[in-house]
Structure 1
Amino acid sequence: MAQTTSRQVVFPERGVIELATADVPEPAPDELVMRVRRVGICATDLHLLEGHIGDPFPLVPGHEFVGEVFAIGENAADARGLSVGDRIAVEMQLPCTECDRCREGRYNLCDRDDPAAGLPVGREYGVNIPRTAAPGLWGGYADHLQVPAEAIVHRLPESIPWDTAALVEPVAVSFRAVQRGRVAPGDTVAIIGPGPVGLLISAAARIQGASRVVMIGTRDNRLELARRFGSDDTVNSRRVDDVRQAVVEALGGLADVVIEIAGVPDAQSLAVTLARRGGRVVLAGACGWGADVTFGSDRDLLTREIDVLPSFLSAGGYEPSIAALAADDYPYADLVTHRFPLEQVEEAYDVVRTKRDDVIKAVLVLED
């Protein structure tokens, strides 16, 4: 591989965005280098920039990336069955594969760290691996990404366009939430939060066999879109006096499973009131480190024996995500409403932050 450099977006410190370049090394025998084609912009990226999620600076952000094999070591090529040019998705977690959590399949909770290499517990591309950890290619807002031996790599079908493929990680997050809620054929499901992941959860719940789905939110255009992603009914929580009663009317009773993805404490407090006795509540929205949530301990939980199940990241979700995007039974492509080149990341952030121009999902295009 000839010496090459990679363009990168870097957060050198809180609130600051810079464009930089980094050298791309030859991959070791067990490693590969990805050429990034698309990376989705997530609200988490904006929270990282503002310092709401720890202090990972300097950071190359981006965890919703897809691309192709740029260079690959001999051992990695044999073990993974991949070659240069193959289309791939790489999971955002870098599990150690050896700790107790990894061995039980919950690699999103990996306990291993590597202080000597500057790598933290729970290594996540674009979130908590600083650019100072060699070779500095740990985020998707870049032309190239380092893929070590422990990374989980999936082949992408040629039939999935790049813009749609950029949804593979949020769809995987959606399937993780649905799996945590043990959604089964015949279940009724209430979803709070019709953002991109909430819409995808609606589709994932129907794929898993949910008999009826209701979406709860505050924006009519998003609620209407939810119907195209499998929701049978919607509730605008600002326009009804009693959300709980509206859910009962929509589902014929309280929900078997409630999935919260709004990422605000009030939505999580509401979620436990919408589940039937013995039901399941999945809390998938990140509210921020300083957020506290209040439940009625006896009234909402104890006497109703509700299962409250946090859902963190996307472990186990990539396989059904790729299958769903390949099946194309829902209008996934319509979610990607805005495309920006890497150099316009600040403009992209302004659009996402202000929800301008009816943005649903924005992606950075590294190469068409």
Structure 2
Amino acid sequence: MSLEDFPIPEIGDDDLLLEVIMCGVDGSELAMYRGAFEYVNDRVPVIFGDEIIGRVAQIGTAAAARRGLAVGDRVVVEARWPCAEGCHTCNRGQYYLCERRGLKNGYGTLSAKEAPHLWGGYSTHTFVPPEAVVYPVPHDLSDRTALIACSPFANGIRWAEATDVAAGGHIAVIGPGPQGLSCALAAIATGRRATLIGLEADSERLKLAEGFGATTFVTTRDSDPDAIVQTAADIVAQHGPVDAVIEVSGSPAGKALAMHVVRALGTVVSSASPNPSTQPFDWRLLMWKEITLKGRISHPNTVETAFEKARELRDRGVDVGDWITHVFPLDDVAGAIRTAAYQTEERPIKVALDPSA
């Protein structure tokens, strides 16, 4: 990581420029920092950061009229945006999979060599083109609450909904990072029961989940097949049959546990990106239990719902903004990533960057 200067671009009539207030550090960036995504390696220099809340610094006349925004307004932007052609996926509402732009083109992944260069939130400013999806932040939400709501919690709402579990049903969430916490909270906020499964090192996050009503279970990293089967049996014995699982750890053991712990005719939602060369999969379980397996990525069309739910939860004493436990300045991005990756003695819940710090 290094600090580089880019010129503030000239803003066209339908563009806007954000002054970044805060940007979240998420799991995909930890993987990118390790060089896990070849397409990102090929695009360096890349400005990371796709969980962005900012203040409108400049805006074109047409953009102001179309978006109903003015200089000084707080907004969040989505990492990907739909194409103008109306392709198959965009027409079905999943613009993160746009057939024209693709999943790999957006904030945090575009090369900074591509004008106007400011394509990520690890920066003082971010450029917003006409196609980008922008939401004004409600006046009564804090910066931190809006940042968690606009991405991790928006994910959790969509992924919990994908389980198709009715009110009163039981959802297990494997992986207690911000995404897993969000899934468990979203399940509980919509009347389902949630059990969050993590490791001993996740004790603070598991304690937080218990505070908002989730049950928790501590497992080990043991990927032995017999150990995974026994862990699944222990979870069911302690917390009851599992109607659906949301797997967000991305680990081979987590994926295997999901298939074993879910009950027959249940659903597994996979929302993590492990290395495919190390990922086992037992197709027999899929057939023998008639499991419905779903993949979900990101949160198209869910941000406004997340703002509304975050407000309701805050008024009931659960403020997702409190999950941001560590904030770093731009000149210590590497420290932020190490901390988020548990490479220090600290155990953060959510790490963010503040360019003004």
Question: Normalized against structure 1, the TM-score is what?
Answer: 0.87
Counterpart residue number, 2:233: 245
Counterpart residue number, 2:15: 31
Counterpart residue number, 1:165: 146
Matched residues in 2 for 1:290 and 1:38: separation? 35
Structure 1 stretches of 4+ with a deviation exceeding 6 A read: none
2:121 maps to 1:140 = yes
2:100 maps to 1:112 = yes
* Comparing 308-317 and 141-150, the one that deviates more: 308-317
2:138 maps to 1:151 = no
Q: Does the 8 Å CA contact 2:195/2:217 hold for their aligned counterparts?
A: yes
Counterpart residue number, 1:181: 163
Question: Normalized against structure 2, the TM-score is what?
Answer: 0.90
Structure 1 residue 355 displacement after superposition: 4.8
Counterpart residue number, 2:31: 47
Structure 1 residue 43 displacement after superposition: 2.4
2:4 maps to 1:20 = yes
2:168 maps to 1:195 = no
2:60 maps to 1:79 = no
CA shift in 2, pair 1:262/1:251, >3 Å:
same
Number of equivalences = 340
Matched residues in 1 for 2:278 and 2:83: separation? 30
More helix as a share of residues = 2
Matched residues in 2 for 1:239 and 1:100: separation? 40
Q: Does the 8 Å CA contact 1:52/1:289 hold for their aligned counterparts?
A: no
Counterpart residue number, 1:317: 302
2:180 maps to 1:204 = no
Matched residues in 2 for 1:196 and 1:112: separation? 30
Matched residues in 2 for 1:191 and 1:68: separation? 34
CA shift in 2, pair 1:230/1:53, >3 Å:
farther
Q: Does the 8 Å CA contact 1:265/1:293 hold for their aligned counterparts?
A: yes
1:83-126 Cα shifts (integer Å, max 9, x gaps): 1111101011122142110011111111114xxxxxx6642211
Structure 1 residue 292 displacement after superposition: 2.3
Matched residues in 2 for 1:303 and 1:156: separation? 47
Determine helix, strand or coil for the equivalent of 1:23. coil
1:224 alignment partner, one of 207, 218, 221: 207
CA shift in 2, pair 1:274/1:147, >3 Å:
same
Structure 1 residue 31 displacement after superposition: 1.4
Matched residues in 1 for 2:65 and 2:2: separation? 38
Structure 1 residue 313 displacement after superposition: 1.8
Matched residues in 1 for 2:267 and 2:306: separation? 22
Runs of 5+ unmatched residues, structure 1: 1-16, 114-119
Structure 1 residue 239 displacement after superposition: 10
1:125 alignment partner, one of 107, 113, 130: 107
Q: Does the 8 Å CA contact 1:348/1:362 hold for their aligned counterparts?
A: yes
Counterpart residue number, 1:9: none
Counterpart residue number, 1:285: 272
Counterpart residue number, 2:333: 345
Identity of aligned residues (%): 33
Q: Does the 8 Å CA contact 2:119/2:126 hold for their aligned counterparts?
A: yes
Structure 1 residue 35 displacement after superposition: 1.2
What do you get for the CA RMSD once the two structures are aligned? 2.0
Counterpart residue number, 1:268: 255
Matched residues in 2 for 1:48 and 1:201: separation? 23
Amino acid paired to 1:279: G
* Comparing 157-166 and 269-278, the one that deviates more: 157-166
Amino acid paired to 1:105: G
Q: Does the 8 Å CA contact 2:80/2:103 hold for their aligned counterparts?
A: no
Matched residues in 2 for 1:346 and 1:303: separation? 46
Counterpart residue number, 1:100: 88
How do 1:297-308 residues align onto structure 2 when only pairs under 5 Å count?
297-298=283-284, 300-308=285-293
Matched residues in 1 for 2:319 and 2:66: separation? 35
* Comparing 170-179 and 65-74, the one that deviates more: 170-179
Matched residues in 1 for 2:90 and 2:59: separation? 25
2:314 maps to 1:333 = no
Determine helix, strand or coil for the equivalent of 1:199. helix
Structure 1 residue 137 displacement after superposition: 0.8
Structure 1 residue 269 displacement after superposition: 1.4
Q: Does the 8 Å CA contact 2:243/2:267 hold for their aligned counterparts?
A: yes
Structure 1 residue 196 displacement after superposition: 1.5
* Comparing 256-265 and 156-165, the one that deviates more: 156-165
Runs of 5+ unmatched residues, structure 2: none
